[in-house]
Amino acid sequence: MDSCYPLPGKRINIDETSYFVHGLVHNSPLVSISQDFKDFVRNEFRGYDLICEDGFVNWIENATSFNESSYFKLDKPNLFDIFKVLALMTYSKFIKRNPSSLIQQVQKMKSPEDFYHIREELFKNYPLEPFGMNSLLLKLGNGNLESPKRDIPLCIKRYVYEAKESLKHAKEKSLKELHIIVGCAHELPLEYLLKNQELLNGLKV
């Protein structure tokens, strides 16, 4: 487990500011996070300067939202989004038949120990960066991070946006320390982008 108080994550030092990227498990069409775990997260981050994905704002009263839904117009679902949710709901019925599945474990997650175990299992499947982002670009025929062709996919745009907004927020508030709360899958891409400022500055969203 990575040591990165108050919860696991990655620490990146830029100039005189420390950025802590915390990948957490959050709600989705397949899972609903228990109030016990939300309360645990709220208590752990009380008193820290935070910026987070929209879905975590209701968990933590002192958090600033990235407002990604508004920026990327994700708050206006289209027919494809509706179909995707319905497909996921159907798939979830089959998942429930397997109590040992990771999704079932997330559904039952209440304690810090539950979270640490689930996080460890998730990170076994995440590719190291920049291979993860570059492999997606390659599959789409969009070049690579250093030389992207056409428009980069939304998931990578979100990583870039979150990294730039984190830097902007810390600068505007003159922070020495900022904690960034995102879904687990965002942690490694954000760490890589924050560590590579020249590359980040060249990517547009």
pLDDT tens track, the chain, 205 positions: 455 678 999 999 999 999 999 999 988 777 789 899 999 999 999 999 999 999 899 998 889 999 998 999 876 655 445 444 444 444 344 434 444 577 778 878 888 899 999 999 999 999 999 999 999 999 999 999 999 988 899 999 999 999 999 999 999 999 999 999 999 999 999 999 999 999 999 998 8
Distance, in Å, from the CA atom of 66 to the CA atom of 180, rounded to the nearest integer, reads 10
Buried b (16+ CB within 10 A) or exposed e, 166-187: bbebbeeeebeebbbbbbbebb
Determine contact, residues 118/102, Cβ cutoff 8 Å: yes
Distance, in Å, from the CA atom of 22 to the CA atom of 108, rounded to the nearest integer, reads 21
DSSP bridge partners of 12: 19
Q: What is the pLDDT of residue 128?
A: 96
Distance, in Å, from the CA atom of 130 to the CA atom of 101, rounded to the nearest integer, reads 29
Buried b (16+ CB within 10 A) or exposed e, 35-72: eebbebbbebbeebbbbbbbbbbebbeebebbebeeee
Which tokens in the block code for residue 112? 């810090």
Q: What is the pLDDT of residue 92?
A: 44
